[in-house]
Structure 1
Amino acid sequence: MKRGGDKFTIPGKYLLFILTIVAVALMVITLTTSLFSGIANTIAGFVVVPFQRGITTAGTWLISEADKLETIERLQSENDELQARVDQLTEENMQLTQDKYELNTLRQLYELDAQYESYEKVGAHVIAKDSGNWFYSFIIDKGLDDGLAIDMNIIAGGGLVGRITSIGPDWAKVTTIIADNFSVSGMVLSTSDNLIVTGNLESYENGVISFSKLQDSADVVVIGDKVVTSNISDKYLPEILIGYITTIESDSNNLTKSGTLTPAVDFEHLDEVLVITTLKQTVEE
């Protein structure tokens, strides 16, 4: 190496040595970088990637559960709305059924009123009845203050229900023709043959009540004939329908017949009745 005006130069052997050192350093750096990169990739393969997969799976699950929860809430809301609508429709249907029943009852009473138009009548509601499945006696919401009296005849549905047996200012008790040992003088409408109709709750379990003392020597009375109240009845107005003959048999004396009849009134469902305000005694007078 020379100083002064001469140029600075590096001997060739030193330059070669320096370049060799630089090359080796670059090789070490490259190898080190590759090694750390491989180690990092390996660590990522075992740790980071599974962790990422877990995060992705968890996120997907959370989104799915959130969607399910939203769907459940929506379905629950829709179900509540549908249930409210069903309840409303059920209530409306029940009301329509009740209205139809009341309309049919009123229509039957109207037809019955027209059938016995010669008698004055008052409508009444049944407000209580004795225990049991059938209305063998019951209380109505009309009484002395409404001009009613004991022995006034009660009709409903298809015909005779019974008569008033006790009364108060605003109520009256009705005993029906199906009550045990409650008798009515009847008559076969087609033949005018007389008989006695007797109530029997045990028989009415089969939908019938008994009749006896039918005088039918000509054997003209048949099953299905109408039985009405007779003119000789002391409590009942004449020709009010009682029921229809269902069975007939000859008595042991061979002079009279007995059997059963189906009442014209449904004694299991009585809500409204008509009270005939004309008494049999008044008619006779």
Structure 2
Amino acid sequence: MRNFFSNKKLIIIMVLVIVVVSMITASLTFGQKRARPTIIHQAGNDGLGVIGNVVSMPINGIRNIDDNVQSLFNTYQENRQLKSHLDDLAQTKAQISALKKENKDLKQQVKLNKTLTDYHQMTASVISRSPNNWQNYLLINKGALSGIKKDMPVMSGSGLIGRIVEVNQTNSKVSLISTDKSLSNKFAVEITKDDGTDTSGIIGRYDKDDNLLVMTNVDSPEKIKAGQQVITSGLGGLTPRGLYVGKVVKVKKDDYGLVSSVFVKPATDLNNFTIVTVISRDVEHG
């Protein structure tokens, strides 16, 4: 029974196809012979038009859907490509910025090294700096294999930033001049005054709020004023004399009108450097 209905449907479809083809043929034949088609001919043509519209509507609809889907897919692909380009651009900008910073640091180190002609110099990179000890310590990528020794001064930019306190084979630990560790050896410094005399003291602490070094234990505090240079004094034997530290920015006096603290702006931004120069301490003290 099922085969019968299937065959019946097939026969009906074939008959419809034959009728449609016959009508198209007749339409073409009679249309060519007559100036104006008969009413039956017109009805056949109208019927064919209706059938054509009915058949073409879903086909055109499917075609439009396919075009829309393709257009949407193309838009999605373009958006992905644009996003990828933007990500690449952001990454490139970040790399360029990092390279510019590194290039600037290297130029500063080259300029610094030219002024340290009396010292043996070793350039190194900062490889680690813990946020918990940001103002106290950092790690550089040179150690005993490169000739690094304990207590060697470390400079960056144009000024002193610390000294070596621990040496491993391939890296070393630097104690910064801004350290607040009480057991650290403090840096002995001096102020070069306008009259040619010097005032000695030590870097006693670091003012984190203003990013200033604070010089304490100041002797002969007379005639200290802003703008005067601060250098290492060489006292104590750990650091050679004459390494630039910074400039005086203000002087604080105690209740008796005596100088108790001298605030020094470091020659180098102690929060922002990546390249350092380690210099030999085996030099003559001036």
- Is TM-score (shorter-chain normalized) higher than 0.5? yes
User: What is the one-letter code of the residue matched to 1:174?
Assistant: V
Match of 2:213 in 1: 209
User: What is the one-letter code of the residue matched to 2:232?
Assistant: T
Deviation at 1:197, TM superposition (A): 1.4
User: What is the one-letter code of the residue matched to 2:146?
Assistant: D
Deviation at 1:61, TM superposition (A): 5.5
Match of 1:32 in 2: none
State the superposition RMSD in angstroms. Answer: 3.1
Structure with the greater alpha carbon radius of gyration: 1
Match of 1:197 in 2: 203
C-alpha distance in 1 between matches for 2:151 and 2:264:
23
Match of 2:254 in 1: 251
| Aligned counterparts, 1:143-222, within 5 A | 143-180=143-180, 181=182, 182=184, 183-191=186-194, 192-200=198-206, 203-215=207-219, 218=222, 220-222=223-225
1:55/1:152 CA distance change after superposition, 3 Å? same
C-alpha distance in 1 between matches for 2:132 and 2:267:
20
Deviation at 1:53, TM superposition (A): 9.0
C-alpha distance in 1 between matches for 2:218 and 2:54:
98
Deviation at 1:60, TM superposition (A): 6.5
Specify the SS of the correspondent of 2:217.
Answer: strand
TM-score with structure 1 setting the length: 0.70
Specify the SS of the correspondent of 1:76.
Answer: helix
More deviation in 156-165 or 167-176?
167-176
C-alpha distance in 2 between matches for 1:116 and 1:251:
38
Match of 1:115 in 2: 115
1:111/1:70 CA distance change after superposition, 3 Å? same
| Aligned counterparts, 1:70-89, within 5 A | 70-89=70-89
Match of 2:100 in 1: 100
1:189/1:52 CA distance change after superposition, 3 Å? farther
More deviation in 230-239 or 268-277?
230-239
TM-score with structure 2 setting the length: 0.69
Specify the SS of the correspondent of 2:163.
Answer: strand
Deviation at 1:145, TM superposition (A): 2.5
Deviation at 1:83, TM superposition (A): 2.2
Identical amino acids, percent of aligned pairs? 22
Number of positions where the alignment pairs a residue of Structure 1 with one of Structure 2: 236
1:130-174 Cα deviation digits (max 9, x unpaired): 442725212222222322211111001231011111223333221
1:257/1:264 CA distance change after superposition, 3 Å? same
C-alpha distance in 2 between matches for 1:251 and 1:94:
48
Instruction: Check whether the contact 2:249–2:264 (CA below 8 A) recurs between aligned residues.
Output: yes
C-alpha distance in 2 between matches for 1:130 and 1:77:
43
User: What is the one-letter code of the residue matched to 2:112?
Assistant: L
Deviation at 1:62, TM superposition (A): 4.8
Match of 2:275 in 1: 272
1:26-58 Cα deviation digits (max 9, x unpaired): xxxxxxxxxxxxxxx9xxxxxxx9x99998876
In the alignment, structure 1 residue 126 sits paired with structure 2 residue 132: no
Match of 2:8 in 1: none
